[in-house]
Structure 1
Amino acid sequence: MHNITKLAAISLIALLPLTACSGDDAENNTVAAPKQNATEQKAPDTAKDAPKPDANADTNTPAPEKTIVAVVNGTQITQLMLDKHVEYRTRGKKVTLTAEQRKAVIDDIISLELLKQDAIKNNLDKDAGLVAVLENVKRGELAQVNVNKIKEQGKTSEESIKKQYDEYVKNNALDFNASHILVKTEEEAKNVIKEIDGGAVFAEAAKKYSVGPTGVKGGALGWFGANQMVPEFTAAVKKLAVGAYTKEPVKTKFGWHVILLQETRPANVPPYEQMKKQLQMKAETDLIQNTIAELKKNAKIEITE
């Protein structure tokens, strides 16, 4: 246990300096180039003065996943593994490692690999809890990579986002001031409508019959935007003329409503630039949800509980 604690401390110390090489600090960690004299500082005037490419230079740089930086008991540690290790430890920050830092990170990975190999030797990788954790991590990582790919391939164009905004403005052009009477059954709602048709005051009927929290206030909801109510309620309100009430009960997940529209006013719709990011995110969310729905539709799923 003492050795593991010590290893963790060494690992942390080795990695902490990495953040100093990110962002604006990168300039401060760059070794200054030696000063040149006036002749050396002069820019080349002609093509013949330009530096010639090295004909013997190796332009076929191995891919990170093929570049081996260490081998631990036969297990290869690649440059890609090192890159991802640093990316994880620095929470995705772009860093430039010094030679000393690179050596420390490689040593850190070697230590972790040795601990992993020792765990496997002692059959710790067979632990059911660990297997479940690793499977969940793998599932989550692969799902996220797939989500990123789906979003990139289905990236919404500027024109499409603008159309969404225009549609939003159209659907949310007005705010509404309305009252409603909420009851539990369609029959009750129809009876309330008959009473109002017969001359009953809407607010008094709300106080008498409504089971909603606004009943004591005569059903008054106050001002609300089109997207603040459930779709069925909003759709019914939009069809009403000011001063009119619904002649048929309106069903929502809350029950059955009789709705009175008292007045409207122009809505304060945010400008396009303010809503652009929100609309982009909604488009991405809709794309992912539609993809999942399609995958579920074509999948064989059995829930056994």
Structure 2
Amino acid sequence: MQHPILDRVERVADDVVSLVLRGADGPLAPWTPGAHVDLALPNLLTRQYSLCGDPADRGRYRIAVRHDPLSRGGSEYVHLFLREGRTVAVSPPRNNFPLLPAPEYLFLAGGIGITPIAPMLRAALAAGATARLVYAGRSTASMPFATELAAAHGDRVRIVSTAADGRPDLAALAADLGPDALVYCCGPDAMLTAAEAAFPADRLHVERFRPATRTFAPNAEFQVHCARSGGSVRVAADESMLDALHHAGHPVPSGCREGVCGSCELVVLAGEPEHRDDIGAAPGTMYPCVSRASSHHLSVDL
């Protein structure tokens, strides 16, 4: 973990604050657009936030947090109790939403979903690509960084107030795309679902803050062999693999416990995992917070 100092708290939209974290002991770990960090809060909660500042600034991280009164307590603590000058624990950045090279990009953001998209837009333009952003929210007052992005990038940025103008026409945007363009989208479920219907799957990249609703086969019991320790752990049908490993004395770092952050990634050495995450686990890996086994046994590097 890194231990930067909370240098500045700034209100950037209705119910949204920006936090600037300054490295206390030298440069912070490097990151690329689309990356996020785990923020370990003093109330013992750990939450994931996308980095929305400048990757070239190794001295500071910037994140933005929307106050959600129905959340599990992380955003409420940030808004009501976290103060400038406090040292916080922050993980090294992880990137499950990387910006791939392309000559043209369409970026779609909804509300707080602008946080991973903003540095992507800057990086794409700096690389000489053709890029535009369609940024939607109920009103401009609810949309963090809307004024900042419009001022910096002019007509490359289109701000859409859905209360006044309705939702963006994604089918029209899809029809206007060049043949080699990539689409990056982050926002509420309704926007992601519409994007998945409008754009070809091989050109669309999305990041979810909440797992998609899906149906899986009923849970079955299986065994996990921990190759490094030599132990074997039974995973009951009514518990997660992550919890079973923890209860057996094999704790795995974890964050969201919903299959969207990637902090609990394990290397699979043998057996067939049943992937239930929303990241798209790389071959030979799995996320035990939600994923299980298709085979009766798994062997993992633990």
Q: Do both proteins adopt the same fold according to a TM-score greater than 0.5, normalized to the shorter chain?
A: no
Structure having the larger proportion of residues in strand: 2
- TM interval, shorter chain, is under 0.3
TM-score by length of 2: 0.18
Structure having the larger proportion of residues in helix: 1
